Chain A
Amino acid sequence: MAADGPFPKRLPEFSRAVDDSEDSDWDGGEDQGGDSGRLKASDVRSCAMRLSPAARQQLAAGDRRVLDCSTLLVGVGPAACGFLTACVLGDDAEILGLISCGFPEAGLANSLGQTALGDFGCFLYRLKCNPQVLVCHAAAPVPPADCHEFVELLLSVLDVESLDLAVLGTQPLTSFQSAEPASSLVGPLLRCLRSSAMLGQGKAAGDAVQQLEPPNLLTGLPAQLLSVCQMRRVPAAAFVAFVAEADCDGEPHRLLPPDPAAMAAFRPALACQPLRYCRPAWPPNSDRVMRLLCRQPGANGSSAYLYT
């Protein structure tokens, strides 16, 4: 880039203190109501959804333009997605669509054929053996700024009024707040938070998973999903596994299969609504699991590691 004079071009500041006023020249990113002309294209973010021809046909055929779905399972992060793949999805699923985040223009999205781990698409599947169940894999990190739009897009093609929802996610074990010292915590820990609608309809059967204790909070996409379900009175449950930090989502370069121990942390959730009505398979067939999870080019059937 050529400079206008002897000195290099000064870059705009990106970071601002929290107490800067709205009169500042730069407010740090997306601005829906301000001077968008001063924003860089890479700072304008959006999510985009691409549907399969079959899904678009189903939307067009119905009066309400929604997909047939009574149960939506959402996996957030590699461990949760691996668990849903192994125990629910299997290899008998149909791709209905995907959601991509972080594109500078709305409408852009990966193609449905880009299923490699490194493509960072969040796929939506339908179980062929149980077509009322849809599974969404958000294995790629969804930044907090994109969570709102992601959830709006996902729920826009579903009949929210007749939906049960479960979201599985992971958070670092070090973030779990307990009266006991952090050094004494033994992970993984599984906790559950349910919406009022699920509790109110008597759907919270059993105590298979301990309730999330205050002051612990859900963050990210699980938080956004459960918040929307709470607001819109959708029966929903969020299962969060507190695991070692390396097994949480948020690492775009992570192309290795998830840790089996982190995946197994979700096992008690199979006894809870709505997962138990999706006829999950436990224990999963180990060969099938490895075949499903090992989508790296060059990986052999028994190991996902390129270097052994």
Chain B
Amino acid sequence: VLSDKSIGPGKWSDYTCVLPSVSVGNVGQLAADLIISSGRLYSVGYWHSASLTPVCGPGPFGGPPCTAAELWESEQRRIVVLQLRSPVLACRRRRFLDEACNLIAECGFARVLLLASAWDSSRREPSCPSLGLAGSPGWPNPAPEGLEFESLEPERRLSGVGLAGPLFRRLAADSRPTGTALACLFCSEGDNSGHAGQLAEAVAAILGQPGLAPVPGRPLPSSWRLLYGSRPVEGLY
């Protein structure tokens, strides 16, 4: 981790790490952007990994250029978001899992909350809630009261979640962090901005941080502009 601020051992020992996965409709990554914006997190560094597809672009919140993996922190809320902006290289998925687990262990997070999305067709029943949750033995009940969700078995294979499933199983079996949870939204691909908001609200409820929920009327990240294409050509119809 390359950081402008000193990250010594134990600095994040009571923090929760929110880590999205490249999955259906990029819902986890979009939700992470909403959490960063709503929670007013600030950039504290970058994760320099050889396992991620290289990308670089204008800062989505108007700040410095963004890279493939960035760290955003809120001291007040005791959370760190490890935002991933590009997919894992197909030939380095296992290496990525190793690197992610090592990074989480080195940073000493108390809990890790993985964000992902799965294909709508992988729900057990159409009537099941669109939110699925799984918790490790160290965090068996991540859902607060009143949150509708489908309980996911840790060994259940979900289609479209990307590496969130393998990473969850790896972290759950590890002694550090203390607790790991997976929040997964069942959806299809299309305009997934609403799904991202739904997942961000679920994260706010799980962490007991209402301030992380998207605020209506707040400007969206500039990276969301034209996310679903530009306007159609006039005269096409």
Which A residues form the contact surface with B (CB < 8 A)? 16-19, 21-22, 27-34, 43, 45, 144-145, 147-149, 177-183, 193-196, 211-224, 226-228, 230-232, 238
Q: How many A-B residue pairs have CB under 8 A?
A: 142
A177 touches B226 (CB 8 A): yes
Chain B's closest residue to A215 (CB) is B223
B94 touches A21 (CB 8 A): no
A231 touches B67 (CB 8 A): yes
List chain B residues, Cβ under 8 A from A222: 56
Q: How many angstroms between the C-alpha atoms of A218 and B162 in the bound complex? A: 23
A34 touches B94 (CB 8 A): yes
B97 touches A226 (CB 8 A): no
Q: How many angstroms between the C-alpha atoms of A182 and B57 in the bound complex? A: 20
Question: Which secondary structure dominates where chain B touches chain A?
Answer: loop
**A–B complex contacts, Cβ < 8 Å, 24 sampled:** A18-B23, A19-B157, A27-B93, A31-B92, A31-B94, A32-B92, A34-B95, A145-B92, A148-B54, A149-B50, A180-B230, A181-B230, A193-B56, A193-B57, A196-B64, A196-B65, A214-B225, A218-B56, A224-B54, A226-B65, A227-B68, A228-B48, A230-B65, A231-B2
**B232 touches A (CB below 8 Å):** yes
A223 touches B223 (CB 8 A): no
B54 touches A27 (CB 8 A): no
Q: How many angstroms between the C-alpha atoms of A183 and B230 in the bound complex? A: 11
Known A179-B230, A181-B231, A196-B64; judge A147-B54 contact (CB<8 A). yes
**B129 touches A (CB below 8 Å):** no
List chain A residues, Cβ under 8 A from B89: 144-145
List chain B residues, Cβ under 8 A from A181: 230-233
B91-117 vs A, Cβ < 8 Å mask (1 yes, 0 no): 111110110000000000000000000
Closest chain A CB from B66 CB (angstroms):
8
Closest chain A CB from B152 CB (angstroms):
14
A212 touches B94 (CB 8 A): no
Q: How many angstroms between the C-alpha atoms of A32 and B231 in the bound complex? A: 44
Q: How many angstroms between the C-alpha atoms of A87 and B166 in the bound complex? A: 51
Known A22-B93, A30-B91, A177-B230; judge A211-B58 contact (CB<8 A). yes
Q: How many angstroms between the C-alpha atoms of A216 and B226 in the bound complex? A: 10
List chain B residues, Cβ under 8 A from A145: 89, 91-92
**B42 touches A (CB below 8 Å):** no
Closest chain A CB from B53 CB (angstroms):
5
B54 touches A43 (CB 8 A): no
Closest chain A CB from B69 CB (angstroms):
9
**B22 touches A (CB below 8 Å):** yes
**B40 touches A (CB below 8 Å):** no
Chain B's closest residue to A181 (CB) is B233
Known A19-B158, A29-B90; judge A219-B55 contact (CB<8 A). yes
Contacting residues of chain B (63-77) with chain A, CB-CB under 8 angstroms: 64-65, 67-68
List chain A residues, Cβ under 8 A from B91: 27-31, 43, 45, 145
Chain B's closest residue to A15 (CB) is B90
Q: How many angstroms between the C-alpha atoms of A147 and B157 in the bound complex? A: 32
Q: How many angstroms between the C-alpha atoms of A230 and B67 in the bound complex? A: 8
Other A-B pairs beyond A17-B159, A148-B54, A230-B65, 18, CB < 8 Å = A19-B158, A19-B161, A19-B162, A21-B157, A21-B166, A21-B169, A29-B92, A30-B91, A43-B91, A145-B92, A149-B50, A181-B231, A214-B57, A215-B223, A219-B53, A219-B54, A220-B54, A226-B56
